[in-house]
């Protein structure tokens, strides 16, 4: 293979870093196109976890002994690495959580409990993942508030023209995906944040599917809350980030209480810590945070503009090849997309396509992708979804197309 | 034919394909196509066995001491499995159905489709068939 193609990616060198890519499935070399569900991990991320437990595992922020101090330094450094990766205003605005779902639940609880009352409105969009619908739905049930939805057009683009009317004097928060996990649509989040802010409405952005594929800049975006997951960006499971403007963190009540969140505890009352520690109760996922920082290092050394450009080429190649097959219908044809192609083949059930692709060593996801309301909008049961990462190749896409044609033949 | 005889016939049929997964799936899908579709009026929500992805419907009745099953699916591969399982279990007494181990699915190399991790409703369908049989047995 060519070293350093015009996107600046040496694909051979990238793939060598991922040990799982040499796995076989059903007698074929694995072709992993399910990165929207979770990504594979480079050896350096795996090594970071092994090194943590082999060399310096210790509880953090609590000890005077050496191992504890090493672990604490590494954990705090991980927060700084993530902060710099997303161009946060300050590392103290970066809270480590269990993932995007946990982050959204934290805001739905802390912001919702304090600021949302009967008759208030929460605005989401029809392309949201269940994790960015259910916490708000629960909040609205609890507080007798109203859940409103910004619709999506047939191409999978938000109906921006309807936004102004949906941001009312009762709107208490607007929650929206940066990139759709089903359609691949990249939303103009800056435009959404600015529109909400002119009406003093705070915004939460679900960045789970954006951070692996695009440069994100918290200072430029100025969202109140931005959430993402480590395991979708080459990091481990069980760790994620909630980026939150400190003006909110200062006024929120604690989310989960317990050790690590406090300054002083008596049986009568407790004084809580400031900043992120107030929201990181108990022993955190220490190795997860450290390994997440290693995933950030991997992405930054690969070069985020490089991987964006490369993945865009993969997306274009896959789209063109899929469009060669007459029965294929791509769901989500927004002009600006990242990482994901959903499609259906005539009346064939996506489950059948996915099963026969698996027989040929190809991993895709089928079904509603945790976006049932979106499926209902489009009147479909589900789709087959290909989702890319930086280690995928055009050759893999070509093998996939042949396998898809074979599956279609068997099912017709 | 007893349940066991039916299972053995299916195992023989599929053995002809050996390692040819394409042939096996084509045959399975063909079996599903030949299996009588369930009347649309019977495909109610109560009869829907919900998997995460493909939908499976199951109806049963009790006639002359035997349980008769009708089943359907909106996806082709589950429909084939439905055709096999319903074909094997239908027309037998509740006791025979409750005792059936359905090992033939494993022997024809399609065990993954009945594993509990598969979100396709088939595992729940088999469970429901046995529960229906038990209910008929208790009513008797």
The tens digit of pLDDT for each residue in A128-185 reads 999 999 999 999 999 999 999 999 999 999 999 999 999 999 999 999 999 999 999 9
- Which residues on chain A are in Cβ contact (under 8 Å) with B53? 349-351, 366-368, 381-382
Find the Cα–Cα–Cα–Cα dihedral A351, A353, A355, A356, rounded to 10°. Answer: 160
Whole-number average pLDDT of chain A: 94
User: Would you call B90 helix, strand, or coil by DSSP?
Assistant: coil
User: Would you call B53 helix, strand, or coil by DSSP?
Assistant: coil
Query: Are A163 and A195 spatial neighbours (Cβ–Cβ below 8 Å)?
Result: yes
Answer yes or no: do A351 and B21 touch at CB < 8 A.
Answer: no
- Cα(B140)–Cα(B135) distance, integer angstroms: 9
Best to test chain B binding among A27, A37, A130, A352 (most B CBs inside 10 Å) = A352
Query: Are A230 and A86 spatial neighbours (Cβ–Cβ below 8 Å)?
Result: no
Chain B contact present for A406, CB below 8 A: yes
Answer yes or no: do A352 and B75 touch at CB < 8 A.
Answer: yes
- Which residues on chain A are in Cβ contact (under 8 Å) with B26? 410
Chain B contact present for A381, CB below 8 A: yes
pLDDT of amino acid B101: 87
Answer yes or no: do B75 and A382 touch at CB < 8 A.
Answer: no
pLDDT of amino acid A127: 97
Is the four-CA dihedral A314, A206, A103, A129 of positive or negative sign?
negative
pLDDT of amino acid B54: 83
Best to test chain B binding among A27, A37, A349 (most B CBs inside 10 Å) = A349
Nearest beta carbon to residue B53 from set A356, A382, A410: A382
Chain B contact present for A361, CB below 8 A: no
Query: Are A271 and A263 spatial neighbours (Cβ–Cβ below 8 Å)?
Result: yes
How many CB pairs below 8 Å do chains A and B form together?
40
* Range among A41-50, A255-264, B44-53, B77-86 with highest mean pLDDT value: A41-50
Answer yes or no: do A351 and B22 touch at CB < 8 A.
Answer: no
DSSP single-letter state for residue B2: -
The token pair at B77 is: 């591969």
Q: A33: distance to nearest CA of chain B, Å?
A: 19
pLDDT of amino acid B51: 63
Instruction: With a cut of 50, say whether residue B16 has pLDDT above it.
Output: yes
Contacts of A405 (CB under 8 A, 6+ apart): A325
- Which residues on chain A are in Cβ contact (under 8 Å) with B55? 381
Find the Cα–Cα–Cα–Cα dihedral A254, A172, A336, A397, rounded to 10°. Answer: 40
**Phi and psi at residue B20, to the nearest 5°:** -80, 90
Best to test chain B binding among A37, A351, A361, A385 (most B CBs inside 10 Å) = A351
- Cα(A137)–Cα(A105) distance, integer angstroms: 11
Instruction: Record the pTM.
Output: 0.93
Nearest beta carbon to residue B25 from set A350, A356, A366: A356
Q: B91: distance to nearest CA of chain A, Å?
A: 29
User: Would you call B1 helix, strand, or coil by DSSP?
Assistant: coil
Residues A304-308 have a mean pLDDT of 95
Query: Are A235 and A99 spatial neighbours (Cβ–Cβ below 8 Å)?
Result: no
Map out the domains of chain A with their CATH numbers: 11-32+304-411 (3.90.1150.10), 47-300 (3.40.640.10)
Instruction: With a cut of 60, say whether residue A2 has pLDDT above it.
Output: no
Catalytic residue among B40, B41, B52, B117: B52
DSSP single-letter state for residue B92: B
- Cα(B9)–Cα(A411) distance, integer angstroms: 24
Map out the domains of chain B with their CATH numbers: 3-39+48-139 (3.90.1010.10)
Residues A278-293 have a mean pLDDT of 95
Active site residue B75: no
Q: Label each residue of chain A as H, E or C.
A: CCCCCCCCCCHHHHHHCCHHHHCEECCEECEECECCCCCCCCHHHHHHHHHHHHHHCCCCCCCCCHHHHHHHHHHHHHHHHHHHHCCCCCHHHEEEECCHHHHHHHHHHHHHHHHCCCCCEEEEECCCCHHHCHHHHHHHHHHCCEEEEECECCCCCECHHHHHHHCCCCEEEEEEECECCCCCEECCHHHHHHHHHCCCCCEEEECCCCCCCCCCCHHHHCCCEEEEECHHHCCCCCCEEEEECHHHHCCCCCCCCCCCCEEEECCCCEEECCHHHHHCCCCCCHHHHHHHHHHHHHHHHHCHHHHHHHHHHHHHHHHHHHHCCCCEEEECCCCCECCEEEEEECCECHHHHHHHHHHCCEECEEECCCCHHHHHHHCCCCEEEEECCCCCCHHHHHHHHHHHHHHHHHHC
pLDDT of amino acid A7: 78
The pLDDT confidence band at residue B24, using thresholds 50, 70 and 90, is: very high
Chain B contact present for A411, CB below 8 A: yes
């Amino acid at each position: 293979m060519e070293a350093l193609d015009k996107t600046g990616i040496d694909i051979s060198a990238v793939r060598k870093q991922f040990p799982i890519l040499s796995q076989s499935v059903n007698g074929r070399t694995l072709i992993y196109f399910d990165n929207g569900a979770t990504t594979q991990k480079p050896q350096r991320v795996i090594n970071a976890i092994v090194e943590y437990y082999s060399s310096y595992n210790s509880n953090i922020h609590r000890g005077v002994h050496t191992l504890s101090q090493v672990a604490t330094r590494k954990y705090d450094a991980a927060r700084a690495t993530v902060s710099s990766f997303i161009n946060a205003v300050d590392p103290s605005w970066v809270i480590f959580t269990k993932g995007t779902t946990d982050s959204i639940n934290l805001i739905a609880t802390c912001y919702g409990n304090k600021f949302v009352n009967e008759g208030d409105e929460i605005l989401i969009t029809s392309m949201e993942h269940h994790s960015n619908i259910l916490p708000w739905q629960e909040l609205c049930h609890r507080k007798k508030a109203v859940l409103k939805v910004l619709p999506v057009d047939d191409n999978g683009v938000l109906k921006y023209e309807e936004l102004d009317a949906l941001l009312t004097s009762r709107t208490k928060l607007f929650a929206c995906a940066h990139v759709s996990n089903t359609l691949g649509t990249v939303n103009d989040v800056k435009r959404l944040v600015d529109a909400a802010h002119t009406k003093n409405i705070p915004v939460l952005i679900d960045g789970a599917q954006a951070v692996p594929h695009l440069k994100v800049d918290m200072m430029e975006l100025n969202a109140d809350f931005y959430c993402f997951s480590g395991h979708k960006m080459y990091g481990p499971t069980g760790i994620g980030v909630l980026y939150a403007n400190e003006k909110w963190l200062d006024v929120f009540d604690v989310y989960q209480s317990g050790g690590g969140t406090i300054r002083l505890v008596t049986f009568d009352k407790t004084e809580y810590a400031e900043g992120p520690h107030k929201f990181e109760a108990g022993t955190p996922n220490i190795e997860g945070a450290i390994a997440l920082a290693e995933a950030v290092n991997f992405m930054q050394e690969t070069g985020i503009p490089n991987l964006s450009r490369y993945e865009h080429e993969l997306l274009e190649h896959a789209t063109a090849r899929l469009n060669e097959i007459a029965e294929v219908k791509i769901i989500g044809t927004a002009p600006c997309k990242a990482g994901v192609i959903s499609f259906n083949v005539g009346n064939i059930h996506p489950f059948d396509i996915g099963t026969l692709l698996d027989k040929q060593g190809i991993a895709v996801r089928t079904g509603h992708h945790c976006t049932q309301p979106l499926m209902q909008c489009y009147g479909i049961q589900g789709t087959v979804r290909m989702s890319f990462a930086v280690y995928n190749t055009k050759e893999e896409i070509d093998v996939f197309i042949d396998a898809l044609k074979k599956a279609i033949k068997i099912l017709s | 034919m007893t349940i066991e005889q039916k299972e053995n016939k299916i195992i023989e049929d599929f053995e002809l394909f050996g390692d040819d997964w394409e042939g096996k799936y084509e045959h399975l899908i063909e079996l599903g196509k030949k299996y009588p579709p369930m009347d649309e009026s019977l495909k109610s929500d109560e009869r829907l066995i919900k998997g995460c992805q493909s939908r499976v419907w199951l109806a049963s009745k009790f006639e002359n001491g035997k349980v008769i099953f009708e089943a359907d699916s909106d996806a082709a591969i589950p429909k084939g499995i439905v055709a096999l399982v319903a074909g094997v279990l239908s027309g037998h007494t509740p006791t025979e159905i409750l005792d059936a181990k359905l090992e033939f699915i494993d022997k024809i190399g399609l065990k993954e489709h009945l594993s509990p991790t598969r979100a396709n409703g088939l595992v729940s369908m088999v469970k429901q068939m046995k529960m229906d049989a038990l209910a008929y047995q208790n009513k008797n």
